[in-house]
Amino acid sequence: MPEASYSRGPTDIALLTDTIGANYARTAAAHPDRDALVDQITGRTWTYREAAAAIDALATGLAQRGIVAGDRVGIWAPNCSQWYLVQYATAVIGAILVNINPAYRTSELAYVLGHSGVRMLIAAPDFKGSDYVAMIEQVRPECPELEQVLILGSLEWEAVARTTPDPVALAEIDATLSADDAINIQYTSGTTGFPKGATLSHRNILNNGFFVGELCDYTEADRICLPVPYYHCFGMVMGNLAATTHGAAVVIPAPSFDPAATLAAVSAQRCTSLYGVPTMFIAMLAELDAGLDYDLSSLRTGIMAGSPCPVEVMKRVIDRLGMSEVAICYGMTETSPVSTQTRRDDSIDRRTATVGRVGPHLEVKVIDPADGRTLPRGEPGELCTRGYSVMLGYWDQPDKTAEAIDADRWMHTGDIGVMDDDGYLSVTGRIKDMVIRGGENIYPREIEEFLYTHPDIVDAQVIGVPDDKYGEELMVWIRLRDGATALDADTLRAFCTGRLAHYKIPRYVHLVDEFPMTVTGKVRKAQMRELARDLLG
């Protein structure tokens, strides 16, 4: 009988049991003179001693403003040093940090503030042409629980941030906190309707950051460049918490992703690790292809996550950026976020064709979404995760929580996964993205991977569109390389014929400069399907 698609991660290294604040204090005591934070935007660097003092000052200031454990404190800002300090200062006093997407408009802002009951909002004055101050004033009448607003850079903010630390008061607060307390609410970037607030504990995200760092082999000598957003787990957990649990330095290259600024920061700060979603790495490779010179010889590792990584892109990242130990991570906000990760000693093939193996102290399985039975290895089904990383639940939405987490505490991801004989997982797409054409189940990822081998295609995204004859038909959205000649359906069909099964060859081709994206770099395929209906009539 074939082995079941189930795997349990190693348990040789114990789970962390402290709170985020206590863990940071422990790191600062062990590595006081090591760099903790480098802000390329302002040119300022903090050692762990200096950062810990700044965190305690801000935590004291927030407590003196009446913020207590369990209160929700929102942060609405792009990547900056203050974001980092707020993350740890709120954890020190047990306040629940509510991450707010910098791209939100007023309706989304009002929803998140009202739904989570934010008492204090810390915000940038503006970002990318959006007047945050004016937008906040516009929504305040809809948010009666919002009592205080601190604008970064204002005199009021500076007064709070520079409060004289009160170690006695902070110690008293720390004695009341538990590692299982909620500490963070992250609103998942849904493609339809309002997002849900994944509620995460100290235990959830501290351990996830720690084990991501362990599998990247981080030490206090590492310097991690973070062009990925702090408002998302990629920045604040896989970035900040992976660094601070190991005494490593965080480097912020810019408020939002800029390929030139990112590569310049790696070069200037001698970064050993670099994070990004595939579209970010594609942009950085294009920057290098333009002939600009950066010294990237310090890079050894990094993480590519957020969406499936094209094989050809991964190979170029290893070759051009020198990231020989780069890891692929897979997960979701609801699992803090990482469930599986490739290892440093995995072969190039493993690190390009899979999302690795299950992480420490976690379990994964692949089930038949129709009846819940665990499938044999090699069969595609829904990927489920269980362990310390599974969220406490969706904030104030027990019905939605029950839909996602079953009675045995398995988180149902909605992703299609396949587990091989060695426990490596491949994720072939979302269950809802699977295309059923004339009774054939088609997984877009397989077609996309093939299309990346076309010399003129930079990026390709395949979706299903309604069809009278087959139920669904395939459409591909394509980004071409600069200078490439136009590509039409007939030309693409000729390229695919004999190399893809006929029913996997896209019928429709749509050329674009960019895809509809979430701020974290995930392609919005649901939005693409809606737009395709108009494009195709």
The domain locations on the chain are: 47-178, 434-536
- Sheet harboring 338-341: ordered strands across? 44-47, 35-39, 249-252, 223-225, 273-276, 301-304, 327-331, 338-341, 357-358
Specify the CATH architecture of the domain 434-536. Answer: 2-Layer Sandwich (3.30)
Nearest CA to 480 out of 461, 452, 450, 458 is that of 458
Look at residue 139 and tell me whether its pLDDT is greater than 70. yes
How do residues 422-457 score in pLDDT, each as one tens digit?
999 998 878 888 888 887 778 788 899 889 999 999
Q: Name which of 77, 82, 75, 74 is nearest 37 in CA terms.
A: 82
State the pTM of this model: 0.87
Q: How confident is the model at residue 484 (pLDDT cuts 50, 70, 90)?
A: confident
**pLDDT-based confidence at 340, cuts 50/70/90?**
very high
Does 311 have pLDDT greater than 80? Answer: no
Classify residue 334 by its DSSP letter.
Answer: G
In which band, very low, low, confident or very high, does the pLDDT at 308 lie, cut at 50, 70 and 90?
Answer: low
For residue 312, pLDDT over 90 is answered with no
Q: Residues with Cβ < 8 Å from 74, sequence gap 6 or more?
A: 97, 98, 100, 112, 113, 116, 118, 120, 121, 122, 123
Strands 118-123, 148-151: pairing is parallel
Q: What is the structure's pLDDT at 519?
A: 62
Closest CA to 182 of 199, 205, 207: 199
CB 180 within 8 A of CB 206: no
Residue 191 has a pLDDT of: 42
Cα separation, 302 vs 338, in Å, equals: 14
Portion of the chain with pLDDT greater than 90, in percent? 80
Return the bridge partners of 185, or none.
98, 199
State the alpha helices, DSSP H only, in 152-310. Answer: 155-161, 167-174, 202-215, 233-235, 242-244, 259-269, 278-289
Assign 3-state DSSP to the chain and report helix, strand, coil percentages, each to 5: 35, 25, 40
Reference 326, options 305, 312, 296, 357; nearest CA is 305
Continuous H helices in 405-524:
444-451, 489-496
Q: What is d(CA 264, CA 101) in angstroms, rounded to the nearest whole number?
A: 26
Coil, helix or strand at residue 77: coil
The CATH number for 47-178, chosen from 3.40.50.980, 3.40.190.10, 3.40.50.1000, 3.30.1330.10, is: 3.40.50.980
The two three-digit tokens of residue 348, written as one number: 């190039």
Query: Cβ distance 329 to 338 under 8 Å?
Result: yes
Distance of CA 95 to the CA centre of its chain: 22
Q: Which residue has the tokens 């948010």?
A: 143
Model confidence at 390: pLDDT above 50: yes
Residue 242: CB atoms within 10 A of its CB come to: 28
- Report how far residue 430's alpha carbon sits from residue 44's, in angstroms, rounded to the nearest whole number: 42
Whether residue 152 contacts residue 125, with contact meaning beta carbons closer than 8 Å, is answered with: yes
Residue 192: predicted pLDDT = 44
Interval 186-213 mean pLDDT: 87
The model's pLDDT over 488-500, given as tens digits with 9 standing for 90+, comes to 989 999 999 988 8
What is the spatial distance between Cα 456 and Cα 233, in angstroms, rounded to a whole number?
33
**Angle 171-172-177 from CA coordinates, rounded to 5°:** 90
Which one has a higher pLDDT value, 243 or 469? Answer: 243
Mean pLDDT score of the chain, rounded to an integer?
A: 94
Question: pLDDT per residue over 142-160, tens digit each?
Answer: 999 999 999 999 999 999 9
What confidence score (pLDDT) does residue 434 get? Answer: 82
Q: Could you tell me which residues are beta bridge partners of residue 341?
A: 329, 357
